[in-house]
Amino acid sequence: MTYNYERFDEYVASGDEQREFAAFPSHLHAGESAPEITGVRLEDGATVQLSQDWARRPVVVEFGSFT
């Protein structure tokens, strides 16, 4: 699987998209521990770990891209 696929139609044709959607219902559940989320905060370029946020307060995480 190429994570940063170049072409959406090829990604769908490869079956990767179908496999990812099919696997989702059995992947992580309410009641389980949240995996760490690490990334660069866009506003200041700092590397952040969201576990430091959810240690103190609830966190809503939406995943997405430009489209």
Partner 1 sequence: MYTREAHPGEHVGAHHSVEDKLHNAALLRDEVGIRRPIVVDDLDGTSHLAYGGLPNMTWVIARGGTIVYKADWTSAANVEAFLARYVAGRSRRPASGVVAPYVTEQIEYRDLDRPAFYERLQRNGPRSYTEFKRAEAIWQERG
Element (H, E) at 47: strand 47-49
Dihedral sign from CA coordinates of 41, 44, 47, 50: negative
Number of residues that bind partner 1 (CB under 8 A): 50
Under the criterion CB under 8 A, does residue 55 sit at the interface with partner 1?
yes
CB 1, min distance to partner 1, A: 9
30 part of the interface to partner 1, by CB under 8 A: yes
Q: Is 3 in the site for partner 1 (CB under 8 A)?
A: yes
Q: Rounded to the nearest 5°, which phi and psi values hold at 48?
A: -125, 155
- Of 25, 23, 51, nearest to 36 by C-alpha is 51
Which residues here bind partner 1, judged by CB under 8 A?
3-10, 12-13, 17-18, 20-21, 23-24, 27-43, 48, 50-51, 54-67
